[in-house]
């Protein structure tokens, strides 16, 4: 077997979303689980457990206002004591009545200003947490032809983003996430990578694109987008998850492991995992019916496994086959790497680094799930959106 690029695997870091530890569901029912966190502190503790057992997840993303606290510096030290740090700050302009017809794109200047101010407050939080990234995903859009002026909405969006960007510090970044539908059903104001790229480019160097793997039309060649954004130097981050139908937010690599492999191959090919690369890897998932902490453990392991497989591609042989017009030979090189079971090798690597060979089994026997179920009684379990 070809050997791993140890540096890339050693440096692999996948940020966990605080909201993955809360209860979530469909619009039909949210099922509760014993031990579900009631506070951001408990979510961070669960995330720290994932990191402790995998060594892969040293940071936790916050969503504001879901994870609002009085003092973010104190929260940062609490996280540090548990061995993790606070990461990306996600803004939220999708749960307020004022934003019914848009936030940064709204025709009413007062509403736009309110949305801008929310982002400035998020930047303030970043100053306290030491976070690098402000991630913006907008629910802005329209449902019916004629409901809004498509062009005017883009102009207002550009203006609002420019105002926010002025406040982004030298060591900070604005990452703009796109999604082709939902909740808007006709026009989404940031529907695709091209729109996100156009706005990020207009803003400047510290504005980048966030690619959420669940935010594309079925059949979209996501690895092409990855290759193109890396080529353009604008791939800022990933929100990893997987989907069968829509924005399902399932465990990354669960629905289509081969797609995850192809994406990670392009990330590696484009230098996205090299030391100093601007590409941040994050999960953006919900666990509706499965256990949440093991769900997050499984997810980071899936990313690690597919990264290892992507690193196994014999790129010299691949280039030779491509240049010789050897279609099937080239394809076989990709498939050989994809079909290689890297799990025993990764288990060995973990053990040699003082981690459990099997983090899923280690969690199951750790007693942590039982302990939090006993301890976390009273109060309100947190749920997606709170």
Instruction: Please report, as ranges, the residues that interact with ligand LRH according to CB under 6 A.
Output: 90, 137, 177, 179, 212, 239, 247, 284
Name the minimum Å distance from CB 284 to Mn ion. Answer: 4
Name the minimum Å distance from CB 249 to Mn ion. Answer: 6
Name the minimum Å distance from CB 185 to ligand LRH. Answer: 14
Q: Which is nearer to Mn ion, 56 or 283 (CB)?
A: 283
**Residue 65, preceding peptide bond in cis (omega within 30° of 0):** yes
Q: Which is nearer to ligand LRH, 24 or 307 (CB)?
A: 24
Q: Which is nearer to ligand LRH, 42 or 284 (CB)?
A: 284
Name the minimum Å distance from CB 216 to Mn ion. Answer: 11
Name the minimum Å distance from CB 323 to Mn ion. Answer: 38
Q: Which does 133 bind (CB under 5 to 8 A by kind): ligand LRH, Mn ion, none?
A: none
Q: Which is nearer to Mn ion, 133 or 212 (CB)?
A: 212
| Strand partners for 188 | 141
Q: Which is nearer to Mn ion, 82 or 176 (CB)?
A: 176
Q: Which does 140 bind (CB under 5 to 8 A by kind): Mn ion, ligand LRH, none?
A: none
Check the CA dihedral 350-356-362-363 and report its sign.
Answer: negative
φ, ψ of residue 322 to 5 degrees: the values are: -65, -45
Residue nearest to ligand LRH (CB): 137
How many angstroms separate the CA atoms of 36 and 14, rounded? 22
Per-residue contact flags (x/-) with Mn ion for residues 193 to 232, judged by CB under 5 A = -------------------x--------------------
How many angstroms separate the CA atoms of 194 and 284, rounded? 21
Q: Which of 42, 189, 223, 239 touches Mn ion by CB under 5 A? A: 239
Q: Does the protein bind Mn ion through residue 15 (CB under 5 A)? A: no
* Stretch of residues binding Mn ion (CB under 5 A), selected from 85-93, 122-130, 228-236, 282-290: 282-290
Residue 26 burial by CB count (10 A; 0-12/13-18/19+): exposed, middle or buried?
Answer: exposed
Going by C-alpha positions, the residue among 231, 343, 313, 244 that lies closest to residue 223 is 231
Q: Which does 90 bind (CB under 5 to 8 A by kind): Mn ion, ligand LRH, none?
A: ligand LRH
Name the minimum Å distance from CB 269 to Mn ion. Answer: 24
Q: Which is nearer to Mn ion, 17 or 148 (CB)?
A: 17
Q: Does the protein bind Mn ion through residue 133 (CB under 5 A)? A: no
| Residues lying near Mn ion in the complex (CB under 5 A) | 212, 239, 247, 284
């Amino acid at each position: 077997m070809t050997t791993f690029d140890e540096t890339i695997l050693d440096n692999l870091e996948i940020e966990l979303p605080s909201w993955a530890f809360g209860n979530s569901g469909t619009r039909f029912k949210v099922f509760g689980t014993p031990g579900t966190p009631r506070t951001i502190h408990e979510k961070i503790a669960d995330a720290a457990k994932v990191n402790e057992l995998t060594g892969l997840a040293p940071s936790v993303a916050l969503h504001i206002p879901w994870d609002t606290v009085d003092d973010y510096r104190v929260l940062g030290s609490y996280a540090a004591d548990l061995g993790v740090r606070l990461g990306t700050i996600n803004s939220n302009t999708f749960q307020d009545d004022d934003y019914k017809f848009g936030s940064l794109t709204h025709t009413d200047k007062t509403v736009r200003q309110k949305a801008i101010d929310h982002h400035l407050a998020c930047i303030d939080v970043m100053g306290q947490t030491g976070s690098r990234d402000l991630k913006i995903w907008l629910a802005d859009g329209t449902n019916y032809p004629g409901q809004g002026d498509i062009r005017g909405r883009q102009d207002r969006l550009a203006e609002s983003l420019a105002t926010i960007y002025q406040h982004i510090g030298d060591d900070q970044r604005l990452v703009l996430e796109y999604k082709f539908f939902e909740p808007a059903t006709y026009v989404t104001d940031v529907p695709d990578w091209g729109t996100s790229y156009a706005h990020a480019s207009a803003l400047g160097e510290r504005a980048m694109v966030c690619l959420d793997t669940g935010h594309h039309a079925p059949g979209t060649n996501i690895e092409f987008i990855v290759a193109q954004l890396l080529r353009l130097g604008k791939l800022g981050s990933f929100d990893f998850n997987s989907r069968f139908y829509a924005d399902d937010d399932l465990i990354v690599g669960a629905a289509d492991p081969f797609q995850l492999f192809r994406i990670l191959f392009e990330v590696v090919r484009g230098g996205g995992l090299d030391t100093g690369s601007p590409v941040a890897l994050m999960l953006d998932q919900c666990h509706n019916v499965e256990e949440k902490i093991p769900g997050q453990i499984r997810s980071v392991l899936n990313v690690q496994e597919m990264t290892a497989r992507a690193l196994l591609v014999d790129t010299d042989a691949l280039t030779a086959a491509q240049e010789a017009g050897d279609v099937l030979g080239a394809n076989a090189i990709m498939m050989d790497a994809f079909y290689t079971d890297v799990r025993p090798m990764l288990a060995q690597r973990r053990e040699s680094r003082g981690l459990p060979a099997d983090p899923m089994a280690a969690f199951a026997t750790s007693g942590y799930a039982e302990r939090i179920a006993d301890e976390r009684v009273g109060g309100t379990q947190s749920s997606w959106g709170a």
